[in-house]
Structure 1
Amino acid sequence: MTSTHSLKIFLALFLALFISGCVSQQSSPWQGRYSNSQTNPQVNAGADNQNVLIQPDAAPVRREASVKIGFLAPLSGNGAAVGQSLVNAAQLAVFDLPSDRVELLPRDSGGSSNSARSAAQSVINDGATIILGPLYAQEVKALNSIASPSRPVLGFTTDWTAASSNTFVMGFLPHAQVERVLDYAARNGMRKLAIVAPSGEYGNLVTAAAQRFLQNSNLPSPRIINYTSSQQAASELQTLQQNPATKSDAVLFASRSSEAASIINSVRQSGATLPRVMGTGLWDDDNALSQTALRGAIYAGPEPSEVNRFSQKYRSVYGEIPPRVASLGYDSAAMVLSLVAENKALTSNTLSDPAGFSGIDGFFKFRNDGLIDRSLSILEIENGQRLTRERAQKSLSF
């Protein structure tokens, strides 16, 4: 992207912010670097920690940025709308946490390995010191050979196999969700678990994460239903729950909300009763709220109030509610901006700093192997809403 084109985007978005008035009225959703001495850690974005509005005709001449952030997202094809929302969210972070030292370099990752590599090479040629994105697993994996300790890649995929020592995965990974909801269940007397998981990689990962947590916590081994059809799952779960010897205290579903609701309805129609129903982050969407069978069900996810705050701010600027994944674009860009403000090098070692970060989706930190750990709230689905039953902690103890 040329500097002229960057300036046009810069001024256009500033004008949108001026019209909406959102920047002058709201503080940044980004909570900044975590510190034990801070109750609500924030990055200082000005003398009063509010964003300062500069009207477009008074905008200063843009200096040559000393830190350039490559930002790869699918801006063409089927994923273009999601990709644009990621870029929009990152631009919003730039305006919430302004710095004349930073320039965002958006590129179309194209949705394939080859196009992602070309886009990455383009931002590297333009001086990028870190690459945020791309979105899809195959794109992120294609950049493993490009990522280095001094130029890390931070992908938005949920595929944990894309992670490496210099390629970080920022998507919502199921292991943290499973551990959090099972810990809550155990502390509330739900110790005998049944797992209902579809055949496939995701179901296997959820099952393995649950088994590992239960074993490490000296809890009973779970009853496992690994299914290929909803009818099979419902039949086996009905049998388990009707037998006092195998009846569980809670059932963990590793499927999307609509599929889980179908299984639950079938079991209840047979006359069997179900204990507490639990799910994973797959339920962190509006579809789950419309499933009456999931009323009272719980799962672990980011605090809704912060997510909603970001969504409303995004809407006030861009005129639409962003897809759920857009918050990753904001948090990743805000994280880099906070590091730049602290004069930190944008290296793999810096990203894996155990101090971690606190953003829209809560506290998070990266492991040395590139995976992400998140502090999550316990959420209950009730009457079309998400109710917080236990708020996320502001730190992680491991």
Structure 2
Amino acid sequence: MRGCAAKARLGSLGAMLAGAVALTGCMGSSLGEYPGYPSTPDGQPATTGETLGTGTVRVGLLLPMSGGGSASSIATVFRNTAELALSDFQGADIQILVKDTAGTAAGGKAAAQAAISEGAELLLGPVFAPAVGGAGSVARASGVPIVAFSSDEAVASRGIYLLSFLPRGDVRRIVTYAASQRKRSFAALLPDDTYGAVAEAAFRQEVGRAGARIVTIERYKVQGGDTTDIAEKARRIAANASQIDAVFVPAGNVAPFVAQTLTTSGVNLATTKMLGSGQWEATQVLNAPPLSGAWYPGPDGAGFKAFAERYRAAHGSAPPRNASLAYDATILAAGLVRSAGASRFSERVLTNRDGFLGIDGVFRFNRDGLNQRGLAIYEVTGSGSRVIAPAPRSFGSGS
């Protein structure tokens, strides 16, 4: 494994991120030929629309190009990012078929149909959950896997893998770390919405897994800028502060206000630790003095920083944080074509337990379509954050 990691670190960013397959590429027992898996046929059908690259293996890239507003902006960034990844991966034997989903279920279905009819063996995207659902209905029937960018766990399934950062991954990392720091009694303040429901289920599971206990869970409603309900629920938690070691508040947009409310309600946040999620990775959160000393999980930022510099040089603007998803997906596809032969996109290869190495560190797909990521733990300083527990560089044996 050490040799694999060293190989992934050699040379430029592109050479390092050819390491999206470095962890699997050294595992001969996990890869190789897969009888019955169809290789790219001779005489590919004609393509329609934009293509990136000139390789022999076709991969669909499903993006909300005509979605309008922020959707179209995301589509443009993800398209540019995929192109950058191809330029970084020398000799990539893939051709990317860019298809428009419009961000809708019908659009996702049509985009997937078009890509598959033109010979795509793997689909990257869509970005939004409805489009993933639409694309999945076609891809599943055709036996073509999807590596999607949505963070809605409800659209994951066998053959539809989510590359995004998922709520349960954040919860597992932060609760496990807090428990390792002798935090044994937990509370949570969660939004009363779908995200809050997913976070609560994961929170209950991970606190139980850690052998700790839950003192209370409060759910709040947000109506515009009205913080009345958040304040009331935070004060309920404060009333039990003597029994609580840590308070989980995953929503970054309310975390500074909650910290201030807990403090004014008599909670000592130096001993009762506030815990967050990847949503905290925002300047207004990390620079909020009431949150100083709080912990949250996130990917190692070094890889993204190097990528962002290359993107800015190529396109004149900084990429959004989630642009790394399109880069890693493209590198993953190109790397598997190079390393896995005819079995390249089989379930056995895509769910390899050793995982893959990308911009944001190690990740792997589960057979149910969800993923696991190696995350660091950060501490809020009031003027940014600092790493207090580094992200793992590999998945441990038996994990």
Sort the TM-score into its range (normalised by shorter chain): 0.7 to 0.9
1:355 aligned residue: 354
2:107 aligned residue: 115
Query: What are the superposed Cα offsets for residues 94-117 of structure 1, whole Å, 9 maximum, x if unpaired?
Result: 111122521111122211111121
Q: CA deviation at 1:300?
A: 1.0
List gaps (5 residues or longer) in structure 2: 1-10, 27-51
Q: Structure 2: which amino acid aligns with 1:197?
A: L
1:64/1:200 CA distance change after superposition, 3 Å: closer
Distance in 1 of aligned mates of 2:330 and 2:14: 16
Aligned 1:210-229 pairs, distance under 5 A: 210-229=203-222
Query: How many equivalent residue pairs?
Result: 350
2:63 aligned residue: 73
SS in 1 for 2:394: coil
Match of 2:21 among 33, 37, 50: 33
1:370/1:25 CA distance change after superposition, 3 Å: closer
Query: What are the superposed Cα offsets for residues 163-209 of structure 1, whole Å, 9 maximum, x if unpaired?
Result: 11111111110111111111111111211111011111111211111
2:313 aligned residue: 316
1:329/1:243 CA distance change after superposition, 3 Å: closer
Distance in 1 of aligned mates of 2:12 and 2:351: 34
Q: CA deviation at 1:364?
A: 0.5
Structure 1 length as normaliser, TM-score? 0.82
Task: Say whether the 8 Å CA contact 2:24–2:354 is kept in structure 1.
Answer: no
SS in 2 for 1:325: helix
Aligned 1:2-151 pairs, distance under 5 A: 27-30=14-17, 31-35=19-23, 65-76=55-66, 77-78=68-69, 79-99=71-91, 101-148=93-140, 150-151=143-144
Q: Structure 2: which amino acid aligns with 1:86?
A: F
Aligned 1:308-347 pairs, distance under 5 A: 308-342=305-339, 343=341, 344-347=343-346
Task: Say whether the 8 Å CA contact 1:261–1:291 is kept in structure 2.
Answer: yes
Q: Structure 1: which amino acid aligns with 2:248?
A: L
Q: Structure 1: which amino acid aligns with 2:62?
A: L
List gaps (5 residues or longer) in structure 1: 1-23, 39-61
Distance in 2 of aligned mates of 1:70 and 1:390: 37
Distance in 1 of aligned mates of 2:25 and 2:351: 20
2:393 aligned residue: 394
Aligned 1:179-258 pairs, distance under 5 A: 179-229=172-222, 230-243=227-240, 246-255=242-251, 257-258=252-253
Q: CA deviation at 1:287?
A: 3.9
Query: What are the superposed Cα offsets for residues 8-35 of structure 1, whole Å, 9 maximum, x if unpaired?
Result: xxxxxxxxxxxxxxxx975545133244
Distance in 1 of aligned mates of 2:214 and 2:254: 25
SS in 2 for 1:80: helix
Distance in 2 of aligned mates of 1:125 and 1:211: 44
SS in 2 for 1:258: coil
2:295 aligned residue: 298
1:249/1:329 CA distance change after superposition, 3 Å: same
Distance in 1 of aligned mates of 2:162 and 2:88: 24
SS in 2 for 1:177: helix
Distance in 2 of aligned mates of 1:208 and 1:266: 25
Q: CA RMSD in A?
A: 2.3
Task: Say whether the 8 Å CA contact 2:185–2:244 is kept in structure 1.
Answer: yes
Structure 2 length as normaliser, TM-score? 0.82
Task: Say whether the 8 Å CA contact 1:301–1:377 is kept in structure 2.
Answer: yes
Distance in 2 of aligned mates of 1:28 and 1:319: 23
Task: Say whether the 8 Å CA contact 1:151–1:347 is kept in structure 2.
Answer: no
1:280/1:100 CA distance change after superposition, 3 Å: closer
Distance in 2 of aligned mates of 1:186 and 1:63: 47
1:217/1:394 CA distance change after superposition, 3 Å: same
Q: Structure 2: which amino acid aligns with 1:65?
A: G
1:286/1:334 CA distance change after superposition, 3 Å: farther
Distance in 1 of aligned mates of 2:282 and 2:81: 18
SS in 1 for 2:86: helix
Q: Does 1:385 align with 2:374?
A: no
